[in-house]
Chains A and B, each alone.
Chain A
């Protein structure tokens, strides 16, 4: 079966513009996670969805970041008024109810 997919794979944007990143989890996975990975760094947890709800949004770096999930499947991460420090790889992972998470290929975001 298909794994986690993300789009776009690469995104270059100008400082101040908004960007929208998409994640398609593995079919049937109810849990979905967003992480951020800066160059040469570890993975920073951003937000978790169980179904369509996100119980805790405190991991989002600032109020410019928001995420939603509809239909218990696709999720979008939106970054408003992008800044250069937002440049990173944004990874999505999904889980079938246990702890094991399967990652997508990521979206490489570059803010000029």
Chain B
């Protein structure tokens, strides 16, 4: 089955700086890669996703890049703000989602230092 590795487990950056979280996946058939943000005690919220037919997607201060050959994808947050502090999870899915669901990384605790 699919295996997703996520690094780092904890990331501390100064407010205003950029943050980058990286993930690798094992199954080359995976074609959908969402990123979820989970604040303490809250549900995971989808913040951005990318499909394997594109290499980059951007939404305001967040962007995701995908390298299918290397089987890795990254989340980039620019001009970080205190409200960006949360745990971020990457995930990978086979076509159509289906019986295997999403395979998640173990999460990155992002801390924005004032």
Known A42-B105, A42-B106: A91·B99 in contact at CB below 8 Å: no
A/B interface sample: 22 pairs, CB < 8 A: A35-B101, A41-B106, A41-B107, A42-B104, A43-B44, A43-B102, A45-B100, A45-B101, A45-B102, A45-B104, A48-B100, A55-B99, A56-B99, A95-B97, A99-B32, A99-B49, A99-B95, A99-B102, A101-B46, A101-B102, A103-B36, A105-B43
Q: Is A98's CB within 8 Å of the partner chain B?
A: yes
The answer to whether B96 touches A99 (Cβ under 8 A) is yes
Question: Beyond the given A43-B104, A105-B43, could you list 20 further A-B residue pairs with CB under 8 A, ordered by the A residue number?
Answer: A31-B97, A33-B102, A41-B107, A42-B104, A43-B89, A45-B102, A45-B104, A48-B98, A48-B99, A48-B101, A56-B100, A98-B96, A98-B97, A99-B96, A99-B97, A99-B102, A101-B101, A101-B102, A103-B45, A106-B43
> Nearest Cβ distance between residue A31 and chain B, in whole angstroms?
6
Q: Is B80's CB within 8 Å of the partner chain A?
A: no
Q: Is B103's CB within 8 Å of the partner chain A?
A: yes
Q: Is B74's CB within 8 Å of the partner chain A?
A: no
Give every chain B residue within 8 A of A31 (Cβ-Cβ): 97
Interface residue total, chain A, C-beta cutoff 8 A: 23
Q: Is B24's CB within 8 Å of the partner chain A?
A: no
Q: Chain B interface residue count: which class?
A: 20 to 34
> Nearest Cβ distance between residue B23 and chain A, in whole angstroms?
11
Give every chain B residue within 8 A of A62 (Cβ-Cβ): none
> Nearest Cβ distance between residue A108 and chain B, in whole angstroms?
9
The answer to whether A102 touches B99 (Cβ under 8 A) is no
Give every chain B residue within 8 A of A43 (Cβ-Cβ): 44, 89, 102, 104
Residue-by-residue, is A42-66 near B (CB-CB < 8 Å gives 1, otherwise 0)?
Answer: 1101001010000110010000000
Residues of A within 8 A of B (CB): 31, 33, 35, 41-43, 45, 48, 50, 55-56, 59, 91, 95, 98-106
